[in-house]
Amino acid sequence: MLLSLTIRNVVLIERLQIDFGAGLCALTGETGGGKSILLDSLGLALGARADSGLVRQGADKAQVTAQFEVPDGHPARAILEECDLAAAEDEELVLRRSLGANGRGRAYVNDQPVSVSVLRRLGDALIEIQGQFAQRGLMDSGTHRGLLDAYGGLDPRVREVGELYRAWRDAVAAHERAQTELADARQDEEHLRHAIGEIDELAPQEGEEAELAQQRELMMNAERLMGALNQAESELAGGGTGRGAESALAAARRGLERGLDIAGDALDPAVEAIDRSLAEAEEALARIHSVAHRVELDSGEQERIEERYFALKELARKHGCEVDELPALRDQLAQRLATVEHGEAHVAELAEKAEAARTAYLDAARALSEARTAAGHALDAAVNAELPPLRLDKATFRTRVDAQDDPAQWGPSGLDRVAFEVATNPGSAPGPLGRIASGGELSRFLLALKVVLAQVAPERTLVFDEVDSGIGGATADAVGERLARLADGRQILVVTHSPQVAARAHNHWRIGKTEAGATVVTDVDELGPGERREEIARMLAGASITDEARAAADKLMGPAE
């Protein structure tokens, strides 16, 4: 709900603040008093196109601030969250727009700088202006399908169709990917077979490169290593003296055994230590012999190791990987080759799944189209019943539901293009809502549509401009009655010249011009009950207010006033 509108230096307005209330809010005044300036100012705060001509003569800039109450769950809160402008649930939302005399401007949301497009998105979610030049809201055919679905209670079916559409498109994408992979694999089949053959011929094993590198290192330093091994073996064997480590340890153990009877358990740890040393010495000699055997391999084995080591390195370089990655690469190549050998069946299976998903989507979408057509007939009847009291008895409303044959036009919302159309005269072909030439007729037509869609339309403040243009009497009273009905539970702002409309308002402001020295300024006054009576009497009688006009005003306003 719009709480307040603050305007500074816009055309004839120097400084003005209006605090709005809930329900039906009427703005009245003489023609040319400045009502259009208020709407232009509001549009500026909502992100409308800016014109430097709005800046009051002599001022550097114009500024408009609109303050809103936005309940939790309102669509505007999702926009705030998306734009990282989220506010607390109880925090009011403030839109502000400044416009310099040079045409440059700035936009703010809760004092945070934003683009005008963000301001416009929030404005569209908060307020809908109905009038001759409004191109959003009901005038935007892009909103018609969603409104029809809401009116017909079809949203659950739309969600189901959306899920089936996404499942179909996912299945189509999987089929297309498989086709592409199969085509690529076929093109590379010869290369794949050759690459797999090369790898199979060498049959590389994981960790083999490190093992071969170690063997090469041993062989390349065989002479120096053998010297070290021979020396170590000689020392362990006793260096030719016959008293090697094993002999010495064995002799020491025999010596200890002669004292076991005397020392008892005291020598057991020493005997165990000698036993361990003997085992370690034996293992050391075994390892020395093993390494020596590897080093003493013949030159043919050395050549084989060299050749294999460099063959593996070259194959890895050719495929742009490490030697240890060759086995995994072979598996990947084999999988691609299997795609060629078994891909036809896989592609065919995916094609069947895609076709089944398409059929499921189409069945649900066609059923949704039928439901939309039925909902459209019900909506047509309801709207057409509202037209005669609004002096639109020659006009006919029609909901057009066109199922598209081109799959490129299908989507998660189904097959249909939905548009609200009107025929202004009997026998004329229906066309877009904008075909209605008169701004007043268009506003009344949109009022009828809004009344019918009141329970399903987005929660926004509605502004009606020229809704009573060219009407009076019973028609104006019908307009007022529908506006009051529509204002039940929401905020409606109406710029009106009709006393019948103004008399039904919950809040009333009078707009007029006053002279301030050499300049003229626009003023807005909130009217109390007595002031309302005088204003409605003026609207009935003109410049000279009579007692009869006041009595008529009292009758229009009813006993509550």
Domain map of the chain by residue range? Answer: 189-337
463: β partners: 129, 493
* Closest to 41 measured CA to CA, from 77, 5, 79: 5
Distances (CA, A) of 423 to 26, 384, 428, 467, 472: 30, 11, 6, 19, 23
Identify the pLDDT of residue 133.
47
* 130 Cβ contact partners less than 8 Å away, ≥ 6 residues apart: 137, 138, 442, 443, 446, 447, 450, 462, 463, 464, 465, 467
How far apart (Å, rounded) are the C-alpha atoms in residues 532 and 553?
9
What is d(CA 4, CA 507) in angstroms, rounded to the nearest whole number?
13
Question: Do 354 and 174 form a contact (C-beta atoms < 8 A)?
Answer: yes
Q: Distance (Å, rounded) from C-alpha 281 to C-alpha 232?
A: 11
The reported pTM is 0.66
The stretches in the chain having pLDDT less than 70 are 33, 87-90, 131-137, 218-246, 255-264, 267, 271, 285, 288-300, 434, 436-439, 516, 559-561
Write down the residue that tokens 């809201």 correspond to. Answer: 137
> Alpha-carbon distance 81 to 75, whole Å?
10
Question: By the 8 A CB rule, do 410 and 402 touch?
Answer: no
CB contact at 8 A, 444 and 390? yes
Residue 19 forms beta bridges with which residues? Answer: 4
Are the beta carbons of 487 and 24 closer than 8 angstroms? yes
117-137 tens-digit pLDDT: 999 999 988 998 875 445 466
Cα separations in angstroms, 243 against 234, 239, 250, 251, 279: 11, 8, 10, 10, 17
Q: For the chain, how many residues are written? A: 561
Phi, psi of 460 (to 5 degrees): -135, 155
| Predicted confidence (pLDDT) per residue in 253-293, tens digit | 776 666 666 666 776 777 677 778 777 777 776 776 666 66
- Alpha-carbon span 288 to 212, nearest angstrom: 20
The number of angstroms, rounded, from the C-alpha of 321 to the middle of its chain's C-alpha atoms is 40
Tell me if 489 sits within 8 A of 521, measured CB to CB: no
Which two three-digit tokens encode residue 52? Answer: 């430097």
Quick one: pLDDT at residue 338?
Answer: 80
